[in-house]
Each structure stands twice: as structure tokens, then as C-alpha cells.
């Protein structure tokens, strides 16, 4: 997807935005009975994470700064397939609030989605600058986001590069309670559990409680639950059950939803702030969920 010049405007001025109003307007965009399971929340979370998860602590490149995920080539990397759906849903808010940066809008959308779908409060700061054109920034290299076909070693390589430890990685993994895989995006198919629009610790409980068997189909190798065949796990998800170090945290979070919520919130804040140099006077918002 090549974006036209209308998506490359840079009039961002973080001080001129009322983020409470933006929060409310993003929340109003979540529900749509014609889309997926009735909510754009999960794909907003995926957009926020893919915008941020390109960070490398070695050379301090990548991350949400610049809003570079809206530009070719990053927008077209295989790992980002389908995220134009989320960006297009949010685009009217960039028109309504021209001073918000795309980088702030995309990360805030993930926060709103997590909170409004019943997850923890995720403190959020504004002030990420936007790159004006793709040429103005070094393109974020491809291959920095995880490959779902791989296992624990790969997951560690990817998240250690961002600066996360095992406990934080497992806490983040809980977000796969949300949403589903799409055959026309990643090639994989199905939701992880029966309530894909509720933020819960079900990723962990489902992982432990079900027997996961290879799905019999022509698509990429993935797992389904043996009992119903309705729910799925990626090979990378199964690694959280089979890897002993990951599994000890999976067991804790399956038993203790409050602990999971607290640890998830901290890890997700860290994710959305990777590589960002915030203005010194940028306040941290702790938005109250609307309902
Ligand atoms: Fe995902 N993830 N993710 N992910 N992800 C998909 C969908 C979502 C990985 C692969 C996939 C995280 C880590 C990893 C969400 C949020 C997070 C899909 C399906 C794949 C293949 C895309 C599609 O077909 O639409 C891998 C390999 C990860 C490393 C383990 C994070 C922790 C769980 C960081 C995270 O927050 C969300 C939400 C979705 C659902 C999107 C939707 O459109 O419903």
C-alpha cells in the first residue's frame, strides 16, 4: 500500500491536542458489527505493537518514533499485512486532530483498545515526532518482528533485541487473548479463545488447559484445540507452554489475573516507548476507561 501525500502531512504539535477527546473518539471507533468479531480493538493493539516492536537497543533504530509504519516499505512488510485496516479506520482522527502525530495516534489506539476491552490501565505519554516522508528516515529494516512459525529461541532473539526479559515477554504474550488470525493476512486461521474482544488472561489458561494438536489443512503449520478445533495457537505461542522458563510465568499468570494485568501494563508501556525521546514536559496520562 503506497500512501499518498495526504498521509504524509506533518503538522504534529503534541501540546495542542486534547488527548481525552482523542481517547473518546478512538473508543467510538472500536465497535463495528460488520468487522471481525465486532471490534477493531484487536487490530489496533496489533498496529500499536508492530509500530513499536521494530526497536533495536543495539543501534537504537526502529520503534514507534516517526510513525514510519505508515510508509512503504515498512507498511508492506509481510509481518504488517492487514494493518492498513487499522490505519484507515484511524485516519479520520488525524483529520479531526491534525496536531496529533501518527506515532502518538497509533500507540494511543492500542492503549484505548486494551483499556476499553477490559484490560488494565496503560499509562501513555504523547510527544512522539512524525517523520514527514519515508525518505526522511532510514527505513526500518524488514525482519524485526517475530515469525510465528518459529519457537522459543527466535521469540527470545526478537524480544531481547528490544530489551525485554523472559517475564516481560510472557506478560506481553497475554495480548494474544485478543483477536484472531486471518488467512488473507498472516495465512494462519482463527481466534485464540472464545472471547477475542475481551482482554483476559485466557491466553494462559487456554494454553495450559487444552491439548493442542496440529491443524489438518493446506495452510501453514499451526495448532488447534483437540476438543473443539475452534481455537488456535501459533507455533510461537506453543513455545510458551513447552519452554520451561516461559512456562513458569504462564502458570503464574493463568492463576493470577491481577498479577498478569499489572505486569502486562508495565511491559506494554515499555513497548510503546521503545526508542522514543519524549519532550521533557510531556505528561503521563492515565486515562479512565469510559465504561
Ligand atoms: Fe501477535 N500475531 N504476535 N502479538 N497479535 C497476530 C495477531 C495479533 C505474533 C504473531 C501474530 C504479539 C506477539 C506476537 C496481537 C498482539 C500481539 C497474528 C495474526 C500473528 C501471525 C495476524 C493476522 O492474520 O491477522 C508472534 C509470532 C508474536 C511473538 C510471540 C504481542 C504479544 C502477544 C507483542 C502482542 O501484543 C493481536 C492483538 C493480534 C490480533 C489482531 C487481529 O486483527 O485480530
CATH number at residue 205: 1.10.420.10
C-alpha 290, offset from chain centre: 21
pLDDT above 70 for 78: yes
pLDDT band at 138 (very low <50, low <70, confident <90, very high): low
The rounded distance, in Å, linking the Cα atoms of 195 and 48 is: 21
pLDDT above 50 for 232: yes
pLDDT at site 17: 97
**Which domain, by its residues, includes 75?**
5-144+268-273
pLDDT at site 135: 65
pLDDT band at 11 (very low <50, low <70, confident <90, very high): confident
The rounded distance, in Å, linking the Cα atoms of 260 and 265 is: 8
282 inside domain: no
84 catalytic? Reply is: no
The per-residue pLDDT for range 86-135, each reduced to its tens digit, is 999 999 999 999 999 999 999 999 999 999 999 999 999 999 999 887 66
Short-list 37, 61, 46, CA closest to 148: 46
Check whether residue 244 and residue 199 sit in a common domain: yes
User: For a substitution probing ligand 1, which of 181, 233, 243 has the most ligand atoms within 8 Å of its CB?
Assistant: 181
Check whether residue 33 and residue 136 sit in a common domain: yes
pLDDT at site 9: 53
As a whole number, the mean pLDDT across the chain is: 94
What was the ipTM of the complex prediction? Answer: 0.99
Q: Phi/psi zone of residue 62: left (φ > 0), alpha (ψ -120 to 50 degrees), beta?
A: left
pLDDT band at 212 (very low <50, low <70, confident <90, very high): very high
181 inside domain: yes
pLDDT above 50 for 1: no
The whole-number average pLDDT for the span 23-27 is 98
C-alpha 160, offset from chain centre: 17
pLDDT above 60 for 6: no
289 inside domain: no
Check whether residue 103 and residue 160 sit in a common domain: no
Number of domains in the chain: 2
Question: Pocket around ligand 1: residues whose beta carbon is below 6 Å from it?
Answer: 42-43, 45-46, 49, 82, 146, 148, 155, 172-173, 175-176, 178-182, 185-186, 188, 234, 236
More confident residue, 24 or 11: 24
The rounded distance, in Å, linking the Cα atoms of 60 and 8 is: 24
pLDDT above 70 for 144: yes
pLDDT at site 12: 83
Residue 168 belongs to what H/E stretch?
helix 166-173
Query: Do residues 232 and 210 make contact, with C-beta atoms less than 8 angstroms apart?
Result: no
197 inside domain: yes
The whole-number average pLDDT for the span 145-165 is 98
pLDDT at site 43: 98
CA-147 nearest atom, ligand 1: 27
The whole-number average pLDDT for the span 261-265 is 99
pLDDT at site 7: 44
Q: What single-letter DSSP state applies at residue 286?
A: -
**What distance, in Å, lies between the first and last C-alpha atoms of the chain?**
36
User: For a substitution probing ligand 1, which of 179, 222, 235, 269 has the most ligand atoms within 8 Å of its CB?
Assistant: 179
Check whether residue 16 and residue 125 sit in a common domain: yes
99 catalytic? Reply is: no
Assigned C-alpha cell, 274: 521503545
Give me the sheet containing 232-233, strands edge to edge: 212-214, 223-225, 232-233
The per-residue pLDDT for range 161-203, each reduced to its tens digit, is 999 999 999 999 999 999 999 999 999 999 999 999 999 999 9
pLDDT band at 4 (very low <50, low <70, confident <90, very high): very low
Check whether residue 210 and residue 171 sit in a common domain: yes
The rounded distance, in Å, linking the Cα atoms of 64 and 131 is: 11
Residues in the chain: 291
Query: Do residues 102 and 109 make contact, with C-beta atoms less than 8 angstroms apart?
Result: no
With a CB cutoff of 8 Å and minimum separation 6, the contacts of 245 are: 166
pLDDT at site 10: 55
Check whether residue 157 and residue 260 sit in a common domain: yes
- Among 14, 49, 124, 192, which one carries the catalytic annotation? 192
Amino acid at each position: 500500500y503506497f500512501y499518498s501525500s495526504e498521509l504524509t502531512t506533518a503538522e504534529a504539535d503534541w501540546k495542542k491536542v486534547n488527548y481525552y477527546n482523542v481517547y473518546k473518539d478512538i473508543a467510538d471507533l472500536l465497535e463495528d458489527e460488520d468487522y471481525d468479531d465486532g471490534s477493531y480493538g484487536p487490530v489496533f493493539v496489533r498496529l500499536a505493537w508492530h509500530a513499536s516492536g521494530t526497536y533495536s537497543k543495539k543501534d537504537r533504530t526502529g520503534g514507534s518514533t516517526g510513525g514510519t509504519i505508515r510508509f512503504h516499505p515498512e507498511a508492506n512488510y509481510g509481518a504488517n499485512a492487514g494493518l492498513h485496516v487499522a490505519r484507515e479506520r484511524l485516519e479520520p482522527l488525524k483529520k479531526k486532530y491534525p496536531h496529533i502525530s501518527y506515532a502518538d495516534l497509533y500507540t494511543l489506539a492500542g492503549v484505548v483498545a486494551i483499556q476499553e476491552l477490559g484490560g488494565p490501565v496503560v499509562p501513555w505519554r504523547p510527544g512522539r515526532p512524525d517523520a514527514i516522508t519515508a525518505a526522511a528516515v532510514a527505513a526500518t529494516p524488514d525482519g524485526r518482528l517475530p515469525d510465528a512459525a518459529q519457537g522459543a529461541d527466535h521469540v527470545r532473539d526478537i524480544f531481547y533485541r528490544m530489551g525485554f526479559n523472559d517475564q516481560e515477554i510472557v506478560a506481553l504474550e497475554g495480548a494474544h487473548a485478543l483477536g484472531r488470525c486471518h488467512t488473507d493476512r498472516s495465512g494462519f486461521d482463527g481466534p485464540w479463545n472464545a472471547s477475542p474482544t475481551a482482554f483476559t488472561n485466557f491466553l494462559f489458561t487456554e494454553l495450559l488447559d487444552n491439548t493442542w494438536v496440529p491443524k489438518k489443512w493446506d495452510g501453514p503449520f499451526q495448532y488447534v484445540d483437540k476438543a473443539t478445533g475452534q481455537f488456535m495457537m501459533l507455533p510461537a505461542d506453543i513455545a510458551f507452554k513447552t519452554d520451561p522458563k516461559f512456562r513458569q510465568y504462564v502458570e503464574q499468570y493463568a492463576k493470577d489475573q491481577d498479577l498478569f494485568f499489572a505486569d502486562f501494563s508495565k511491559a506494554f508501556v515499555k513497548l510503546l516507548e521503545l526508542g522514543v525521546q519524549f519532550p521533557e514536559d510531556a505528561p503521563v496520562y492515565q486515562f479512565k476507561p469510559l465504561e
